[in-house]
Each structure stands twice: as C-alpha cells, then as structure tokens.
Structure 1
C-alpha cells in the first residue's frame, strides 16, 4: 500500500492547480488518512487581508478526498458533495488539513476533515461524500 500512497501523493503534487497556484503545498497519505499543508501568503487573501474561504474548502476537500483515495486502489474517486464550516480567520503561517474516512461501502464513502492553524487551533472543518468513478488510476492522470 505504501506504493499506492506515494503514487497518490505524486498525483496530488503534480496537478496543475498545485504546481501553478499552490506552490507551497505538502501532502502525506496513509491508510484512511491524509494530511494536506499550505504556507499562507497574501496571494490567498480576500479584501480584508485574511485567507479566502475557497482555500479552506480546497484543503478540506483535498484531505478528505485523499483519505478516501487511500483505500480505493483501482479507480479515481469523485467528490459528490462537501460541506464546510469556517471557524476563525488565518492570515499567516502554515495551515494543515487532516482528513479521515468515516464510512465506506462498495461505491460510496464519507470522510471528514479538520483544518488547523500553525498553533494547532481548529480554523475549519468539513464533511464530504465521495464515489468511485470509472476512470482507472493510470500514469496518464498522474498516478505514477
């Protein structure tokens, strides 16, 4: 399974959104868990000088998504719904989302994720539903 996790990590880090926009992203995937990290800079700010909610969403969804992907070894997983709650703003430092699988069936999965600031305080959380696609995990999609 370690090889599967490594391939997923490479796929995540190689995605255009992470190479062209989120240049300080980190990822660590293990069984039913994923941690996604980001160093905050002002390019992620809204008009009030704090991190935009879309950044919270991305990290929370990514962490839950890859927690589920850690146990799906044949096909790409799709987010079918995801709800987030924003608790406090952040404008500097490193933030980290930790995702964990909560429910699994043959084709449907639920995962939750929590976002923490550099001091370890919770700044947001989310819950999502994920389904298996028909897209095989191959090198063509970055799974290598």
Structure 2
C-alpha cells in the first residue's frame, strides 16, 4: 500500500476526532519509529500548570497505535493494555512522542513510547499491547 495515500486517508478520518481535539500532528510514521508532536497549551494543563496525565497517556496511546497501524495498514487495531509511567512533569510548549513496535505475534503487537519536551526532558514512558481485529 502507498503509505502517503494511507496517511492522507488517515488524516481525513481523524478530522473531528479526539486526535484533532488534542492537536496532534504526525511527523514520522513507521513501525520502527513513529513520531507525533503536540504543542501543549493551557487547555492541555491541569490546575497545577503542568500537562495533564490524561493528555500524556493519550499521546502515548496515539503514537503507539499509529506505529501498529503503519505495520498493518489494511487491518483495524485496538489497544488492549496501556502502561504509563509519569517520570517528570512537563509544562506548556512543544512535546514530541516517539513510539516503536517491539514485538509481534499473529494477533498482538507490543509497543513502547516516550514523551519529551523541546529540551529533550523525558516526561512520560509507556508500553502498550494492541490487537489486530481483521
């Protein structure tokens, strides 16, 4: 499958979804290295002025899911498990989430990802399991 056409269709399907609401942008997409970016704004912060944990978990899930989808562009996939470790707080500004597929079986993929700020400060790490549906 032509990946540029696949990405264009995926971007069209993402319009009006949670992906768009968050403000994610795909920078690189492959099973070996998927990168999504987000500029954390006030709406992404909690009352303490740091990026909300739900936003960070969503970034991990989105990046890992996109890595899985790029490995199997003709299949539907769902997250079956998500492990998140908040290792440092992150403030407003550019964030980058990088994911890669670590292991796969016939029906399940295991993926890892991390979220860093513009200075390279590691804020969040995670792993996820994803099931291929069809």
State the secondary structure of the residue aligned to 1:95: strand
Match of 2:91 in 1: 91
- SS of aligned partner of 1:62: helix
Q: CA deviation at 1:14?
A: 2.0
* SS of the residue 1:114 aligns to: strand
> Runs ≥4 in structure 1, deviation > 3 angstroms?
none
Distance 1:89 1:8 in 2: 34
Change (3 A) 1:47 1:117: same
CA offsets, 1:59-96, max 9 Å, x none? 01111111111111222110000000001112221001
- The Cα shift of 1:29 comes to 3.9
- Aligned residue for 1:138? none
TM-score (norm 1): 0.82
What pairs up with 1:1-144 in 2 under 5 angstroms?
1-3=2-4, 5-7=6-8, 9-11=10-12, 13-19=14-20, 21-23=21-23, 25-32=24-31, 33-134=33-134
Instruction: Name the CA shift for 1:82/1:26 in 2 (closer, same or farther; >3 Å).
Output: same
| Contact 1:12–1:18 (CA under 8 A) maintained in structure 2 | no
